[in-house]
Amino acid sequence: MNDMRIEEKALDHVIEEMIENVANSKDEIFHIGEESRMEFEKLHNELQETKRQVISLIDEGDKLEQKVRLSRMRLSEVSKHFDQYSETQIREVYEQTHNLQMELSVKREKEKQLRERRDDLELRLRNLDSTVQRAEGLVGKISVVLNYLDEDFRQVTEALEDAKVKQEFGLQIIEAQEEERRKLSREIHDGPAQMLANVMIRSDLVDRTFRERGVEEALEEIKSVKQMVKSALYEVRRIIYDLRPMALDDLGIIPTLKKYLNTVKEYNKGLEVKFTTIGRERRLDSKYEVALFRLVQEAVQNAVKHAEAEEVQVKVELKPSAAILVIKDNGKGFDTTVKKDKSFGLVGMRERIDMLEGELTIDSKIGKGTVLIIQIPLNR
């Protein structure tokens, strides 16, 4: 009995660490949002200055255009009565008109570049604003998760009877969470952070290219920088989607699964993914939609990464009182009678299904692929 209490305290300690790690993750995402907000303010100030320069150039160009018009009139008059002017006077009028035209052309070209820069800044500001909003929403969702962990998850100790199983379960959660944090940190470092660093370097190069090589090459550099920003934004959106797909809250389980499976197919060349739905498409309670999505996600990832499948079939049937998932692949398969160490994917799926009082059936043979059948009651 004393040993049981000691191990229960150990699990409580693990849960406390997990709550602390989730809180740290919340702080990190908040930090990302704040950095995006600071970048937003910086670009906003730059946009205001660019707009001011555009207005100034337009005014200068209009005045210069008036001078060019007067100079052309003067040149026309001299041309008509060239016998009344000396060669020096004629040359001065011609050179003055030519110089004014060249100066006007340069100003108009600079005005065009500033207009393009203004449009690009406005687009980047809209994208950054979207990133800030999503980060704020993600922080709010993590706050909800923290509340669940702090209030409800502590009851795990009372629900589990075997202290050793409880401790291993808690440690697996911590390990999986730490792995997800390492993955997120690595993806941000290798993806958006690296791209934004390159953007800063290349933006400095644009000005130097304009001064040393001319307008055309500077415009090519600007296009390259613009593409880098687009790529960084795509990576940020992908990372946010991996943390929790926003479509799950907005559209529901079926559209979100369609989008996810299409993404899996795009990222894995040669993989065939078939998705079938049976029954009336409808919204479910949030806990069921999240559970169904994570179960399909885990099963598909196992088929692609571990079973090395070339074809995956996913079928979702929504009955009035139950949801049925069937995930079938033509991968390597495995012996269901042999228990594998560290098969945390299936362990996590079983835990999630058990919490929803569902059933999991696995039919697999080596070299024959795998079929998972998951039934989740919706009326409990």
Domain count, the chain: 2
Which one is predicted more confidently, 112 or 207? Answer: 112
295 & 219 share domain = no
Secondary structure (3-state) at 362? strand
In contact, 95 and 69? CB cutoff 8 Å = no
Residue-level pLDDT at 380: 56
DSSP letter assigned to residue 230: H
Closest among 67, 70, 91 to 79, alpha carbons compared: 91
Domain boundary among 185, 213, 243: 243
Secondary structure (3-state) at 81? coil
322 & 199 share domain = no
69 & 130 share domain = yes
157 & 135 share domain = yes
| Confidence check: pLDDT of 46 > 70 | yes
Mean pLDDT value of segment 49-63: 86
- State the first-to-last Cα distance of the chain, in angstroms, to the nearest integer: 34
Residue 308 sits in a domain of what CATH number? 3.30.565.10
Residue-level pLDDT at 316: 95
166 & 290 share domain = no
Closest among 209, 241, 236 to 222, alpha carbons compared: 209
Percent of the chain with pLDDT over 90: 13
In contact, 276 and 325? CB cutoff 8 Å = no
For 154-172, what is each residue's pLDDT tens digit? 555 555 545 555 556 556 6
| Confidence check: pLDDT of 326 > 70 | yes
Residue-level pLDDT at 47: 82
Residue-level pLDDT at 2: 47
DSSP 129-179: HHHHHHHHHHHHHHHHHHHHHHHTGGGHHHH---HHHHHHHHHHHHHHHHH
The overall average pLDDT reported for the chain is 78
Domain that holds residue 56: 2-243
Which one is predicted more confidently, 256 or 143? Answer: 256
Helices 286-301 and 344-355: angle between axes, nearest 10 degrees: 160
| Whole-number Å distance between alpha carbons of 40 and 106 | 31
DSSP letter assigned to residue 148: H
| Confidence check: pLDDT of 20 > 90 | no
Domain boundary among 243, 278, 307: 243
325 & 217 share domain = no
For 182-240, what is each residue's pLDDT tens digit? 666 666 666 666 767 676 776 777 677 777 777 777 777 777 777 777 776 656 666 66
Residue-level pLDDT at 183: 66
| Confidence check: pLDDT of 58 > 70 | yes
Residue-level pLDDT at 313: 95
| Whole-number Å distance between alpha carbons of 71 and 87 | 17
Q: For the whole model, what pTM was predicted?
A: 0.44
Mean pLDDT value of segment 272-296: 90
